[in-house]
Structures are given as C-alpha cells and as structure tokens.
Structure 1
C-alpha cells in the first residue's frame, strides 16, 4: 500500500505547485481584505508584508492585543489603521512614506516609550534579515511566520549581524554560544561539522528542506551565504518528518533584495589564512520584478596541522521573479569545492592522555602522509522557493531542491592503543580509502489558511512533502608503512594491495520518504494552543556488494505535537509542550547485511519566554525530559570506526538564554545548560552519553561607541565553559576529558568616522582561544583530539 500511495502523493504535490502558479493574480494599489480578528502582530505583519512595507514591531507593544477585523477594499495604510481600531494604538505619518505606531494619549503609561516605524522596503519575516542580534520571528518550529515570543518551543537564532561580529566560518562556530549545543568536540574539522544537541546529532535543513545525510560526504554549508541560522531544540518530526529527538539546525539562505547592496570582505590570519567573501544584490529592472543576488567565498589557507590545507571555492547565485504582489518565485543555487584533509587527527593515547618517553605529541604534528592523503569534495544544489496568495485566507508555498555531493578521500590513522607506539616513537598506521556520492531530490508543499471560528483565530497548515536519496559508499581499510611520532616520515611507498586490504563497506542505498502533516495554531484572547500531527512512509533499499544481500525496509510512523502558552501584556509567555520524533537511520550495521532500525523519541518541555515591553531583549528558560529508543552509537575498535544500536536513552536538562541590545552601544548573548544523560538499556546501562557535558555556559558581549573620540570603535569578548565528557560508551578513565574554559575577543572600527571618503569601509580582527590554551577536547578510549589553537583573523570590509 505505501508503495502505491507514495507516487500518488508526489503527483498531487506537483499538481498543487502548478495550480498555485496558474492562479497568480495581478496586484493593484488597493486590495480586497477579509481579515478576521487575530493577534495584532499577525494582522499587521500580513498587511505590511503584502504591501512590501518594513514593519519593525516591538513585540511588547502588540503583545496580548487583537486586531480589529479588516473587511473591504483598502490601500495598505488604510488597512493598517482599520486593524488598529479599538487597540489603543494609532498610525501617524511623521514624514512622507514613513509612519510611526504609537499609543493613543489614553493608552497605559507603561507603553508610552514603545514605538514602531514603518517605511518602504522589505519587512522582517521568518525567512529574511533580522536587525542586530535579536530576531523576532521564526518558522523553524511551525513552518509558518510566527513571533518567537509566541512559539512554544526552545530555540536560538544566530542572525547575520551576530555571525558577522563573531567572524563565523562554519556551523560549529555559529552554535557555540547557544545553550544545549556541543560543537567541535573533535577540534575543528575542515571536512565536517561535529554537533550534538540535547545529546543527539541534529538534522540540518536549508531553506525548509533537509540536507542529505551521508557518512563522510555530508555537505559543509558555507555560513557566509546564510541570512540566519536557527537551532530548534527537541523533536520536530510532526512538522519535518525524519528528525532526531535532540533537535535540528534550520538555515535560511541569503535571498535577492530590491535595494542594491554590495559587499566585499578580505581576510588574513595565522596559518596563512587568506579569504575573500563577496555579496551583491539588487534589481535587474526598474519595476523590481526581477532581483538578483550572488554571494560566495574563496579561501586558500593552511591549518594548525602541518601540511593539511583548507581550500574552498564557493558561489551561490539566486534570482527572484516577483510575478505580482501575490506570487513570488526565487531560484536558489550553490556550488562548493573543498580541498582539505584530516585536521582533527587521531592521536594515540601515549603522548596525549598517557605519558610517553618522548613527551607530549605536538598538536601541530601530521602523523599521516601529505604525499598520499587527500580529501576532495564537490557539492552543488539547484532549487527554488515559490509562494502564492490566493486570497486573504489561503496561501501556498513550495520549496524544491536537487542536491549532489561527491567525495574522494584517502586518509591515514595511527594505532590508538597504548601499545601501538613503541619506546622510540615508532607508530603503526592504517589506511582509509573512501569513495562516496549522494544525490537527493526534495520537495515540500504546504497550504496555509488564516481564519476564525467564533472568537478563536486559526493558522491552519496542511502539508505534503517527498524526498528521495541515493547513496553509493565504499570504505576500504588497510595497512600503511609505520612512521615516527616525533619525526614523521613522508613520501614512503604504499603497497596498493596492502592499502586496500579489507573492504569494510560497499553498498548502494536508496531511500524514499513521503509525509502528510497538519497543524493548527489557535489563538483565543491571550491563549495560544498548537496541535499537529504527521504520517510518514519511508522505504529503504540497500544492496551490499560484498555479501550480495539486498534488504528492504518499509517503515511508517505517526508523530504528534501539542503546546499551550499564555501571552501576558508584560511580554511574559509561559508554555508547555509535547513532541515526538521518528528517524529512519541511513547507513548499514556492522555486519553489513541489513539497514538500521528507525529511532523513536518523545519529549515533555516546560518553559517561559520574556520580552520586556519597550526593550530589544529576549530571555528564555526551558526544562525538558526526552527519551529515544534504538540509538545509534559510533565507536572505534582497533582503529576501525563502527556503528551499533543500543536500546534506550534518557536526557533531562535545563537551558537558559539571554539575547539583548541592552543599550544602543551594548549587545550581548548569554547561555547556560545543564544536561543529564543516561543509557537505560543494554551493555552500558547507567552510563552517560558520549561527548555530552553536564554543564555548559557562555557569554558574548559587543560594545561600540557612537559618539566622542572613540566614535565608530567597538570591542567584543566572549567566554565559553564546557564541562567534562566521556568519549567512549564505557565511560572509562581513558575516555574521560576534563572541563575547559576558552576566551574569545574582537575589535572593529568604522573608517568613515575618520573621513567621509571611507564611507562603507571598516576594519576588524577576531581572535578565538585568546590565551592559546592547550587542551584535549575529546578522548574516546583509543584516540585523543586537541581543541583548537588560537586563531587570529583580520578583515577589511567595504559596503556600498
């Protein structure tokens, strides 16, 4: 039945997309509005969005207020004034084209300092830019444009401004100041981002669609091309389908803008870091029906590991066609080429965790062979984001993308056991040869309706998505000539037969997934109730070439979510939520004869969000309890990476976060997380999960002067604390790593303050691990991995 049902659903998905396109209508200055009473921020946002206005709305000003119905034909400003009737707020034109939203003279004095400015240009929405560090809207938890304050889930947003201030170069960097996230636990790896959220590896989404999951070939997204990155904590399968219980990373690409803007950033730093970032956007015609954007990165750098390069060539062109006011189509594409190696290294226990007669193994040493090793990955994608509004009640969105990622990889690992290194430093080594490619097609359609039944306002979402992926994976393992831990020997002869002695994996795996989902966000006065459910059908077919086995799995699951919150006028929002996860696992088990079983999870969460009226501050707190069954765990046995499935894991925790523009000069983000993990079944019952610290805390602050002799100058600093961890399932002393505290710093200066001829030019410098602390980030019982050394990167940026 699922195999017959799936093509029908896919056909329906494509027909829906075609129907939405056909029903596009021509826009006029006035529109026919049929907007029922709804949360005020929702109605104002919808009107401004349809009219192409910017609405910078203080959530505290609109919190707890409902709009007046808007029925009839109005232009945008008339519709806004109609929605504001009986709300105690008014729209005032301060100058042509610019409006201010303010309380009426009779409004409560507590609102007297809050204002909202409306001007021509794009407004903040869940898929666009946010000003400063504090984002106000998100679609990550609901797939609808929803205020973060009213989203009853724990989440963090790294805005474009925050990522720029911290000179973020990868996802590991982007999330390291967020609660509940562990990153770079093998040190920085130029091949991949290593993440854990609430104990589990998160699924990554880009522009609403899941990125492919391989073994080594996973694309490493370029953060320069992102408008924002959201970490959603907890299960989300009832909206997104196959995801883990810990959470997901949801990224939004830079998209074309009507206002012309251009930027070039040149970086230089230690390890011969040289990089050029570029971004240009604007309109191609006078009516701004066609908009373009091209961003990208060229990097040529060394790393803290000798003879390991970090080269990247990336470009991301996009094009928007504003068919009319109700219909928009944006083409999104990207190409990335990576040339690098194993920067995380696999260092033996002797000389790191254990003493060796030669002393410590240098964190710069390359114990492989640069004449033989390489890591070449090519990634490209092509897709689009389409939206169409049928009327004031219904709108349709479709996201579609094709992705291809190819990898050719040769690497060397040394013996990890203590006895693998002799007294004179001679170390045994193994070869790892990987050829892997993965292709993926994904499409997501949803129909959103905004209407009321009596006094209850509804945001109803009906969705259908489909994805298929095809993975070819071959992993050969063999023997390499021995080397010396103090004086590595390069350029040795590698016997091809010995280097390819064993075929550990050799298979082709095809996965098809179809999902139907429904969600209703209901608002009644100050109450917010969300109910959602989804049914998934997944087929996994694997052909093992070494064993001639051809297993096929058909999995299906229903997952649900429910949440309830109350929005106080003060900006305080307590909430409670329940959510479930379902995740068919890619890859194969260690016997290489069958596919993994899917994992299942559930979570209870209680939290509170607070955005004080009249401020640009968001404070959040969450307490959660989640469980997952059929957990996949990766371990090293005799220098070979294998994966197995244990029974059940329990994770409980507390997370606190503050994001704020305390003053015009000071921006900050702060977080704390307590994470209690426990394996509840199997051989390691009672142990903690690998790589997860019980305690984490961080603080980043940026202070910029806007007047006086230091006008235009800014300084920033950060501190990150990560508690002790176990890198092995058995929680042994050899797998234990102590806590560490790392400091970061930055400085920047706007050169236009020196001379107006330098308008748009700025300089800056960012330093991570300011005091160059040497520490082990992880030990797994066989190997140890150093944390990142100090990195110093200076930049010159020009915008016009």
Structure 2
C-alpha cells in the first residue's frame, strides 16, 4: 500500500504595459502606426493566489495464475484547486517611438477586468493489470473520473457550476526478443479537467479529452549499454488550450480549440558506448493540425508548435590518471520554424516596423550548450557524492525569437551560466 500527498501554495503579482491598436497601411501589407510614431498601449495587472492539494492512494499485488505473472494496481486519487485573482485591463498612456519617455506615470484603471473565485475538485478511481507470459507483457487499465467546478466572477456576480465525468482506459503490449529488439503497440484515452481560470467570455475551461494510437520498437544491442527507440503515433485531443492575443485582449489569454490532430514520429538513442562517455540524442517530427471542421482555422497548424525538433548531447568523464573525475560535454538543440497564429498568418498587425518586422512564422533556431564538471568522489573516497558543475546554455549568445503571437514576440534567453555544487547520499 502506498500514499502520495502534495500541497502547493503559489502567489503571483504581475503588471505590464502592452502595445495595441495598430492599423495596416502601405503596399504589401506593411505595418504602420496610426501616425507613424505613436503606439497605443494597454495596462494589464493581476494578483493571483492558487492552492492545490493532491492525494493518491494505491494498492498493489503481485501473484501468479498458471503461467501468467500478474502485477495488479488499484487506487483512488483526489485533487483540489482553489484559485482567486483580481485583474485590471484598460487603455493607458501612449508611447512616441521616435522620442520615447520611459518615466511616465502610468494610469492605473479603476474598474476591474476580472475578479474570480474558483474551486475545482477531481476524484479518480482506477485499476490496471500488467500480465507477463514469457517474453510477452500486456498491460490494461481503466479509470473513471468525476470533476466538479464552482466559478464565481465577483465583479459581475455570475456563478457557473460544472460537473463532468468520464471513463478512460489504456491497453498495450510489448514483446522482448533475445536479440534485444522489443516491438510494442498501445492505445489509450484521456480526460483532463483541471485547468484554473476562465475563457475570455468568463466561462470555465472544458475538460481536455484525447485518444491515442502508438506503435514502435525499442532496441538494446546485446552486450551494449545503448538503447534505441522509434515510435509513430496518431493522437487526437479535444478542447486544447492555446494562447491568443490581439487588440482588447490581455496578455497570455487562453482559448480552446475544438480538436487538434497530432501525427508524428519520434526516435532516440541513449547510453554509454565507451567507459565514461554518455550520449543522448533525439529527433521528432510532428504534424499538428486543427482538425475540427467547425473551427475557422480547420486544417491549419497549431501556433507555436514546431514540425521538427532535434538534439544531440555528449559528455565524457575522465576515468583514470591525474584528471580522474573531470568531465566535459557539449550539445546542440534545433527547433524548426513555427506559425505565430492558428490562422498560420499574422491576422492582427501589432508589430512595430523598425523594431521587429512582421512574419507569419517564428524562424528556426540552432543553439549550442556546454558543461564542465568534477566528481570529487572518483578521486577522493571520503568525498563520495560531492560534485560540481558549470553549465553554459546558448554558448554563442545567439539572439533569436522563441515565441510569437498576434500581439508580439518574445526573445529567447541569451547566454546563461549556471554553477552548481551538489551532494548526494
């Protein structure tokens, strides 16, 4: 019997001034300001408190029935979310981009934009059985969820109650050949109702549901410490959360897409081909599209989701001699370009010419990382468990964009250096 319990308290105080209110003029759709120099801006602030409690109670039993070896797991879990916020959003001071004044007294709106008091709870009952027959393993499980919500918009007095429940399940099988090859297949469904906050119209989020088919193969060559994996999958999700922005919309506003279809391939290699040398590489291809015929963006790719990602990392730890325990490594990360909106174009012209040119996609990026480390315990037995490392992300301090929406773009982090001293026991 096992029980896991977690409690979290989170507070957020956030204030920003964001641009908005542009018009489009000029040939070729070039974006211009209303008078060529003045930015209309909005004030947005929020103070939020979130308390979550989760408990998972499990019973596990292992037994044999004839030639079958069973591991049966049954459980009951519970989680609760208590959320409240107070947000303001309205027009505020403009900014002259040719003679910017960054010391203005920003006008704070007096009227509330949102004041939520929200309570969500979820209970889940589940059971699964992992049965083994020789080299064949089959896993099957079912789950039933009950979710309840109580959302009160204190600034309007509107209260919304929601009650959702749904059964889900999964089944999968894998066969381990003597050669180290292990093909597998799986099917699963999902139900996730735990988003806090509301849609722009004040309604609570609908539960996200999904259905996935997956097949693949895992391979560990006999006598090696390397594992290769390859998988293909077909996943459909309903009521998928996505960030939207534009005139009259606060920053980081979330909407839900009716249905998203994700089909793709993933491959990876992990292991240690030589003593002290570790490798980790992965590649994924994702065809991610809005698949609800009722959606205005039917057939388009979901915003800010790359079609290709890849990474490769290698690290070497010196095994002998005076440099025993010293380690060094490096790697590269690649992210393919991404559309900035679900319409796969910039439908709302809110990017300032001369500051960042409008584009329908976030350009692809390639970034390099590195690490230097020292394991004290490899040379000095009395210091076993003590290690130090210096990690450098984005070694060449590349300037690139990590995310864009119709309301603007975010720069990615520049060169970041992190030094750590770690002791494990």
Per-residue Cα deviation, 1:239-266 (whole angstroms, up to 9, x for no partner)? xxxxxxxxxxxxxxxxxxxxxxxxxxxx
Q: 1:520 to 1:709 in 2, by over 3 A?
A: same
| Counterpart-to-counterpart distance in 2, 1:761 and 1:459 | 38
Partner of 1:388: none
Q: 2:300 aligns with which of 672, 687, 703?
A: 687
Whether 1:631 aligns to 2:240 is: yes
The alpha carbon displacement at 1:750 in A equals 5.0
Partner of 2:57: 445
Partner of 1:209: none
Q: 1:640 aligns with which of 250, 255, 280?
A: 250
Partner of 1:607: 216
The alpha carbon displacement at 1:758 in A equals 8.4
| Counterpart-to-counterpart distance in 1, 2:102 and 2:46 | 21
The alpha carbon displacement at 1:423 in A equals 4.5
Q: 1:487 to 1:617 in 2, by over 3 A?
A: farther
Greater strand proportion: 2
| Counterpart-to-counterpart distance in 1, 2:61 and 2:363 | 52
Partner of 1:101: none
Greater helix proportion: 1
Please give the TM-score of this superposition, normalised by the length of structure 1: 0.47
Residue 402 of structure 1 aligns to a residue whose secondary structure is strand
Whether 1:571 aligns to 2:183 is: no
Alignment of 1:372-521 (within 5 A): 396-415=1-20, 417=22, 418-420=31-33, 423=36, 426-483=38-95, 489-495=101-107, 499-521=108-130
Partner of 1:553: 162
| Counterpart-to-counterpart distance in 2, 1:433 and 1:420 | 25
Partner of 1:96: none
Partner of 1:212: none
| Counterpart-to-counterpart distance in 1, 2:387 and 2:205 | 52
Q: 2:409 aligns with which of 761, 784, 787?
A: 784
Question: Contact 2:21 / 2:41 at 8 angstroms: preserved in 1?
Answer: no
Please give the TM-score of this superposition, normalised by the length of structure 2: 0.86
| Counterpart-to-counterpart distance in 2, 1:754 and 1:530 | 45
| Counterpart-to-counterpart distance in 2, 1:440 and 1:618 | 38
Question: Contact 2:246 / 2:406 at 8 angstroms: preserved in 1?
Answer: no
Q: 1:505 to 1:621 in 2, by over 3 A?
A: same
Moved more, 690-699 or 644-653: 644-653
Partner of 1:86: none
Q: 1:486 to 1:560 in 2, by over 3 A?
A: farther
| Counterpart-to-counterpart distance in 2, 1:410 and 1:456 | 60
Residue 553 of structure 1 aligns to a residue whose secondary structure is strand
Question: Contact 2:336 / 2:363 at 8 angstroms: preserved in 1?
Answer: yes
The alpha carbon displacement at 1:547 in A equals 2.6
| Counterpart-to-counterpart distance in 1, 2:146 and 2:422 | 48
Question: Contact 1:479 / 1:501 at 8 angstroms: preserved in 2?
Answer: no
Aligned-pair RMSD on alpha carbons? 2.7
| Counterpart-to-counterpart distance in 2, 1:554 and 1:467 | 15
Question: Contact 1:581 / 1:602 at 8 angstroms: preserved in 2?
Answer: yes
The alpha carbon displacement at 1:612 in A equals 2.9
| Counterpart-to-counterpart distance in 1, 2:385 and 2:4 | 35
Residue 301 of structure 2 aligns to a residue whose secondary structure is coil
Question: Contact 2:69 / 2:132 at 8 angstroms: preserved in 1?
Answer: yes
| Counterpart-to-counterpart distance in 1, 2:306 and 2:99 | 35
| Counterpart-to-counterpart distance in 1, 2:154 and 2:388 | 55
| Counterpart-to-counterpart distance in 2, 1:562 and 1:438 | 35
Asked which structure has the greater RCO (Cα within 8 Å, sep 6+), the reply is 1
The alpha carbon displacement at 1:711 in A equals 3.5
Whether 1:661 aligns to 2:272 is: yes
Question: Contact 1:433 / 1:500 at 8 angstroms: preserved in 2?
Answer: no
Alignment of 1:79-228 (within 5 A): none
The alpha carbon displacement at 1:521 in A equals 0.4
Partner of 1:95: none
Q: 1:630 to 1:757 in 2, by over 3 A?
A: closer
Q: 1:475 to 1:527 in 2, by over 3 A?
A: same
What 5-or-longer segments of structure 2 have no aligned partner?
Answer: 23-30, 347-358
Per-residue Cα deviation, 1:217-272 (whole angstroms, up to 9, x for no partner)? xxxxxxxxxxxxxxxxxxxxxxxxxxxxxxxxxxxxxxxxxxxxxxxxxxxxxxxx
Residue 112 of structure 2 aligns to a residue whose secondary structure is strand
Q: 1:446 to 1:752 in 2, by over 3 A?
A: closer
Alignment of 1:738-753 (within 5 A): 738-750=363-375
Residue 597 of structure 1 aligns to a residue whose secondary structure is coil
Alignment of 1:255-404 (within 5 A): 396-404=1-9
Q: 2:260 aligns with which of 640, 643, 649?
A: 649
Aligned residues: 400
Q: 2:391 aligns with which of 737, 744, 766?
A: 766
Partner of 1:543: 152
Whether 1:726 aligns to 2:339 is: yes
Question: Contact 2:47 / 2:87 at 8 angstroms: preserved in 1?
Answer: yes
Residue 217 of structure 2 aligns to a residue whose secondary structure is strand
What 5-or-longer segments of structure 1 have no aligned partner?
Answer: 1-395
Q: 1:794 to 1:517 in 2, by over 3 A?
A: closer
The alpha carbon displacement at 1:763 in A equals 5.1
